[in-house]
Amino acid sequence: MKSSRLNWFARRAELNSTAARRLLVTLEENSQLNRKLFGKSWPLEEFKLIQSWQLQRMQADYLDFSQQPDYQPAVNFFLQELYGDFSFIDRNQDLRKVYPVMVKLLPTTMLDTLTNALTFQAHSLKLDMQMAEAKHQGQPQSSASGKMDLELYIKINRNAVLQQDRRRQVGQVVSLGKALVKAAEHTMLLRLLKMMRLPAKSAGFGQLHEFLENGLSAFKRMPDAGYFLNTVEQRETAFIDKLY
């Protein structure tokens, strides 16, 4: 019995270590992108314009879900926490500072979910940055107007982003949603996150903890998460078909 317990703890430590290493690699990728984003002479205004247009497009495309109280938190989580403004940069910087403490406190499932979220975020950020650079290099005169429409977005996207990378982006967001659904099914995990609010805040990753708890709570609340994720996949795939 004692040997069995020791094996369980050894296995848990191994899994946690692997999850922690994956998270660290993803954090470094995000940090590199963040540094480039605010680099001297980098086209930040074009980037903001592209992100703003994308956000408006998705808000319109998922208005039907946003108007349903049980689905609204999930839509808000994706649009505000993952696609939203620059608050994710502060959150990721905080995460790097408290990484050693966080990997000891969070269970493996949460480390993996967090890594998946940051991986998706890094990939999306990279595509938006490619578009911003292409817009700046190919159409600097349009930057001053501060305008973006579907025709211009399609033109820039075709010049800057591979179709396979767009499709990968959709696959990532659906996979992340499924991971959140699976994690949200564990009532004990949700209870653990709630119990960790004060310790997480004291340890310096309260914003990150809130990010995880909001994601799990949003997917726990949905009456049919499968329907929501299937719809996201269908609509985003249809949008990609327009782009190419």
User: Alpha-carbon distance 232 to 226, whole Å?
Assistant: 10
Average pLDDT over residues 208-229: 88
**Containing domain of residue 210, as a range?**
2-243
CB 136 within 8 A of CB 143: yes
* Structure confidence at residue 184 as a pLDDT band (50, 70, 90): confident
Confidence of residue 19 (pLDDT cuts 50, 70, 90): confident
Could you give the dihedral angle defined by the CA atoms of residues 19, 25, 30 and 32, in that order, rounded to the nearest 10 degrees?
170
Q: How far apart are CA 119 and CA 175, in angstroms?
A: 11
When mean pLDDT is compared over 2-11, 87-96, 197-206, the highest value belongs to 197-206
User: Which has more confidence, 181 or 190?
Assistant: 181
CA distance 131 to 156: 6
Write down the pTM of the prediction.
0.83
User: Residue 41's pLDDT band (boundaries 50, 70, 90)?
Assistant: confident
Model confidence at 78: pLDDT above 70: yes
pLDDT tens per residue across span 137-169: 876 444 445 689 999 999 999 999 999 999 999
The total domain count for the chain is 1
Tell me the C-alpha distance between 55 and 49, whole Å: 10
